[in-house]
Structure 1
Amino acid sequence: MTSFSTLIATAGLAMAAFVPMAQAQNSADEANNKAIVQRSFDAWAAGTGSPYDLLAEDAIWTIAGNSLASKTYPSRAAFIGEVIQPFVARMSVGLKPVIREIHADGSTVIVHFDAAGTAKDGKPYINTYAWFLDLSGGKIVKATAFYDSVAFNDLWTRVQPE
C-alpha cells in the first residue's frame, strides 16, 4: 500500500518537472511575440509596414486618457477608420517610430516609443507612446495605448484631414 507521503512526494516531483517546461514555453512565446512586434515597428520605421498590419479583425483598441480620440474601438475597421486614416490624412510626412523599450510578459508586449512626423501645415508632430499589446497567434487581439493627449489634440483640431 502506498503511503500518503509517498503520493505527495511523487506529485511534487511531477510538478517540479512540469514547471520548468511551462516556464520554457512561456519564455519562448514571450520572445516570439516580442520579435513579431519588433519586426512590425522596424517595418514601420522603414516605411514598409506597421503594427496595424498585426491587428486581428476583431481586435479591441483602447486609447486611454482624455484625448479627442480616447475611447474603445471594437474592431480593426473601427480603429483604422476613426483614428488611423484621419490621422494619416493630417500628415505630409508620416510618423517614424523610435523604440525606447520593448518588453514581453506572457502574451502581452509593451512598447514605449517616440514618434515624429510633419503635419500638412508644415509643423512637426512629436509624441511619446506606451502601447500594451495582447497577442494571440501572432495577431494583436487587444491593445491599450497611452500618449500625450495635448500634442494629439493640437494636431487633431489644427489640421483638417483632406
Structure 2
Amino acid sequence: MTNWISHVGRFAIALAAVAMTAKAAAQTSDVDANRATIARAMDAWAAGTGGPYDLLADDAVWTISGNSLASKTYPSKEAFMSEVIRPFNARMKEPLIPSVHSLYVDGDTVVAHFDAAGTARDGRPYVNSYAWILTLKDGRIVRAFAFFDAHAFDDLWTRVTPASKMVQRKAS
C-alpha cells in the first residue's frame, strides 16, 4: 500500500510539473505576443502607416498622469481621441514620429519608453519623452497610463491653435 501511495504521489508531482510548465509556456507566448503587438504598432506609427491608437478597445481607459493640461482619466477610446489625440494632431504641421528606447513586458502589461518629435503648425519643433504602461487583452489596449514632460506638452497646447477641421474629424 505504501508503494502505491508513493507512486501516486510521484505521479501527482509529475502532473503538477507538466501543468506548471504548460502554464509558463502559455504565459511566455502571451508575453511575446503582447511585445510584438506593441512593437508592430510603434513601427507602424514611425512609418506613418498606423499606430498604437489603432489598438485601443472602444472601452479602453487612458490616464494621463501628472499635471499637464490634459492630465485626467479618459473613460473610452472616443473620449481620449476627441479630447487629446485629434486636437494634438491638429496642432501639428508634421506628424509626431516615435523613437522607441525599449519595451518592457510583464504578462498582459507592456511598458513603452520612447521619445517623439514633430513640427508644430507654427513651425517650431515639438519634442517629448514618454513612458506608457499599456494593459492588453486579446491584442487590444484596454488600460493605459501615460507619463510625459508636461511643460513641453502644455507649451504646444497653449501656443498653437488647432486646425479646426482636424479636431472635428472622427477617427476611422
- TMscore range, shorter length: over 0.9
> 2:78: which partner in 1?
77
Q: Distance in 1 between matches of 2:73 and 2:5?
A: 53
Letter in 2 for 1:145: A
Q: Distance in 1 between matches of 2:105 and 2:77?
A: 22
Q: Distance in 2 between matches of 1:72 and 1:18?
A: 39
Deviation (angstroms), 1:160: 1.5
> Mapping of 1:100-139 within 5 angstroms?
100-139=101-140
- The residue matched to 1:60 in structure 2 has which SS? strand
In the superposition, relative to structure 1, how do residues 157 and 12 fare at CA in structure 2: closer, same or farther (>3 Å)?
same
Q: What is the aligned-residue identity percentage?
A: 56
Q: Give TM-score scaled by structure 1 length.
A: 0.94
Q: Distance in 1 between matches of 2:33 and 2:52?
A: 15
- The residue matched to 2:99 in structure 1 has which SS? strand
Q: Distance in 1 between matches of 2:64 and 2:38?
A: 19
Deviation (angstroms), 1:7: 5.7
Runs of 4+ in 1 over 3 A off after TM superposition: 1-11
- The residue matched to 1:67 in structure 2 has which SS? coil
> 1:142: which partner in 2?
143
Q: Distance in 1 between matches of 2:15 and 2:37?
A: 33
Instruction: Give 5+ residue unaligned stretches, structure 2.
Output: 164-172
Q: Deviations over 1:82-109 (max 9, x none)?
A: 0000000100011000100012110111
> 2:51: which partner in 1?
50
Deviation (angstroms), 1:14: 2.1
Q: Deviations over 1:56-100 (max 9, x none)?
A: 000000101111101100000000000000000100011000100
Do residues 68 (structure 1) and 69 (structure 2) align?
yes
